[in-house]
């Protein structure tokens, strides 16, 4: 900083004010300092600054299943929101979400000086692991559901599954079959619940669901069975990859889509619009998910009610549901981000 001050012809304090974005620096002085910074290729010493301010401007993220669309998109949404708010992100990717693994990951992130931690928790064991965490830094969970003792933000999977099942029933289908995700995943449970709720409200008995593993292969194998059943006219797949496999099995069996069978998915992956036919599905707003997760974490860091109002995009109209539950004598916020049905050509009116 002394070198920058010398080249720019200003005081050390002026350089500090420019670096910290302080007001009351004349535009021409600010530009002279910035020019000196560029000339000298100066970079602030982050470690030294953290010692002085006790702020690392770094957040930790514990991730799992990052090869899958949902968790990977959650991680991307969190990273984008953090970058927009001026935070760095350090990621610990796990193969298992048991209590020991999650605790070790949080401890490693704390050793790096993170100010808070976001845990992407798509599986039931992760919820239990979060409940047993011992850490002095704030923790927010993404996808953990409203039963957690820490603040959470999740996509409203149940409402999305309910809406898309209701859409198929409104097209005249007598019932809707379901290919679910694997056991132990919270998305599996909540999407099953939304599907069942829509059928029950319509007075329709739910067919036995078929369990998959989120893969196109599982959708294909289940599709070989469903294609042989002439009573099947509508299928809700718990993700778009399952739907992709199902579409291939139905094509190979000579079943037309949507003439014989309507198919819907969940996620709205980038390829969904290019399936044959283009897939009707449920879109998740992962950017909003990341922004709200960061907002909750900043609330925990500052101890204020809604400091996230200063985050990029905050204050815009939104339909997300926010609730609070008592945990340990304090209110813990739980946010649900809404979904949206994307109508394409894989659904149509029932032919019988």
Residue 32, domain CATH: 1.10.260.40
Quick one: 89 and 167 in the same domain? Answer: no
User: Residue 324 and residue 229: Cα distance in Å, rounded?
Assistant: 46
Residue 307 above 60 pLDDT?
no
Q: Check if the beta carbon of residue 39 is closer than 8 Å to that of residue 7.
A: yes
Q: Is the dihedral of CA 289, 293, 299, 305 positive or negative?
A: positive
Residue 319 has pLDDT above 60, yes or no: no
Q: Does residue 259 register a pLDDT over 70?
A: yes
**Residue 62 within any structural domain of the chain:** yes
* 161 and 74 within one domain: no
* Same domain membership, residue 176 and residue 249: yes
195 with 101, same domain: the answer is no
Question: Which stretches of 51-189 are assigned E, i.e. beta strand?
Answer: 58-64, 88-94, 116-120, 139-142, 152-155, 177-180
The answer to whether residue 352 sits within a structural domain is no
Residue 87 pLDDT greater than 90, yes or no: no
Tens-digit pLDDT profile for residues 23-36: 889 899 999 999 99
Report how far residue 131's alpha carbon sits from residue 21's, in angstroms, rounded to the nearest whole number.
39
Higher pLDDT, 55 or 174: 174
Please give the residue that has the higher pLDDT: either 269 or 318.
269
- Mean pLDDT over 295-317 rounds to 58
291 shares a domain with 149: yes
281-305 pLDDT, tens per residue? 999 998 888 888 888 888 888 775 5
Examine the domain organization and report whether 25 and 101 are in the same domain.
Answer: no
- Tell me which DSSP letter residue 316 carries: S
Instruction: State the Cα–Cα distance between residues 331 and 212, nearest whole angstrom.
Output: 37
Give dist(CA 182, CA 124) in Å, integer: 11
Instruction: Please check the confidence at residue 352 and state whether its pLDDT lies above 80.
Output: no
Over the stretch 117-138, which tens digit does the pLDDT of each residue have? 998 888 887 778 888 888 778 8
Residue 313 has pLDDT above 50, yes or no: no
Residue 190: cis peptide before it, omega within 30 degrees of 0: no
Residue 315 included in any domain: yes
* One domain for residues 13 and 61: no
Residue 88's contacts (CB-CB under 8 Å, 6 or more residues apart) are 56, 57, 58, 59, 82
Mean pLDDT across the stretch 182-206? 96
Q: Are 164 and 280 in contact (CB under 8 A)?
A: yes
For the chain, the domain total comes to 3
For residues 278 and 294, membership in a common domain is answered with no
What is the torsion angle, in degrees rounded to the nearest 10, for the CA atoms of residue 21, residue 25, residue 26 and residue 30? -50
Give the integer Cα–Cα distance in Å for 122 and 75. 12
- Give me the sign of the Cα torsion angle 239, 245, 246, 251: positive
Residue 113, in any domain of the structure: yes
**pLDDT greater at residue 273 or residue 306:** 273
In a domain, 351, yes or no: no
How sure is the predictor about 317, in pLDDT bands with cuts at 50, 70 and 90? very low
> Does residue 161 share a domain with residue 143?
no
Range of 272's domain?
157-284
Alpha carbon distance 176, 168 (integer Å): 7
Check whether 309 has a pLDDT greater than 80: no
Residues 260 and 173 placed together within one structural domain of the fold: yes
98 with 134, same domain: the answer is: yes
Among 284, 305, 328, the domain-final residue is 284
CATH code of 85's domain = 3.40.50.2300
Backbone angles phi, psi at 115, to 5 degrees: -85, -25
d(CA 347, CA 171): 8
12 exposure class (CB count in 10 Å sphere: 0-12, 13-18, 19+): exposed
Q: CA Rg, the chain, in Å?
A: 25
The token duo for 34 is 């910035």
Q: What pairing do the DSSP bridges indicate for beta strands 116-120 and 139-142?
A: parallel
**Least-confidence region, from 29-33, 38-42, 166-170, 250-254:** 38-42
- For residues 133 and 167, membership in a common domain is answered with no
Where is the domain boundary, 284, 311, 345? 284
Which of 266, 284, 302 is the C-terminal boundary of a domain? 284
């Amino acid at each position: 900083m002394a070198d920058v001050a010398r080249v720019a012809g200003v005081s050390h304090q002026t350089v500090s004010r420019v670096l910290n974005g302080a007001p009351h620096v004349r535009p021409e002085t600010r530009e002279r300092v910035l020019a000196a910074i560029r000339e000298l290729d100066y970079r602030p010493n982050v470690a030294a600054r953290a010692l002085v301010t006790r702020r690392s401007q770094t957040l930790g993220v514990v991730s799992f299943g990052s090869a899958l669309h949902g968790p990977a998109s959650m991680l991307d949404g969190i990273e984008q929101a953090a970058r927009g708010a001026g935070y760095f992100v350090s990621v610990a990717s796990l193969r298992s979400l048991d209590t020991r693994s999650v605790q070790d990951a949080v401890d490693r992130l704390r050793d790096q000086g993170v100010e808070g931690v976001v845990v992407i928790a798509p599986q039931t064991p992760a919820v239990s692991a979060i409940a047993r965490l011992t850490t002095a830094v704030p923790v927010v969970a993404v996808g953990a559901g409203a039963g957690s003792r820490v603040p959470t933000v999740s996509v409203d999977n149940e409402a999305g599954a309910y809406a898309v099942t209701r859409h198929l029933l409104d097209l005249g289908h007598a019932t809707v079959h379901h290919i679910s995700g694997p056991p132990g995943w919270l998305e599996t449970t909540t999407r099953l619940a939304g599907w069942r709720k829509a059928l029950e409200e319509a007075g329709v008995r739910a067919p036995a669901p078929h369990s998959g593993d989120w893969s196109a292969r599982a959708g294909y194998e289940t599709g070989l069975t469903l294609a042989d059943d002439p009573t099947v006219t509508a299928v809700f797949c718990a993700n778009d990859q399952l739907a992709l496999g199902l579409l291939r099995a139905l094509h190979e069996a000579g079943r037309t889509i949507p003439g014989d069978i309507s198919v819907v998915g969940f996620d709205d992956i980038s390829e969904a619009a290019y399936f044959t036919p283009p897939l009707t599905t449920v879109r998740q707003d992962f950017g909003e998910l990341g922004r709200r997760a960061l907002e909750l974490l900043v609330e925990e860091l500052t101890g204020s009610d809604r400091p996230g109002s200063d985050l990029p995009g905050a204050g815009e109209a939104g339909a997300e549901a926010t609730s609070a539950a008592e945990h340990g004598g304090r209110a813990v916020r739980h946010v649900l981000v809404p979904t949206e049905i994307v109508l394409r050509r894989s659904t149509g009116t029932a032919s019988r």
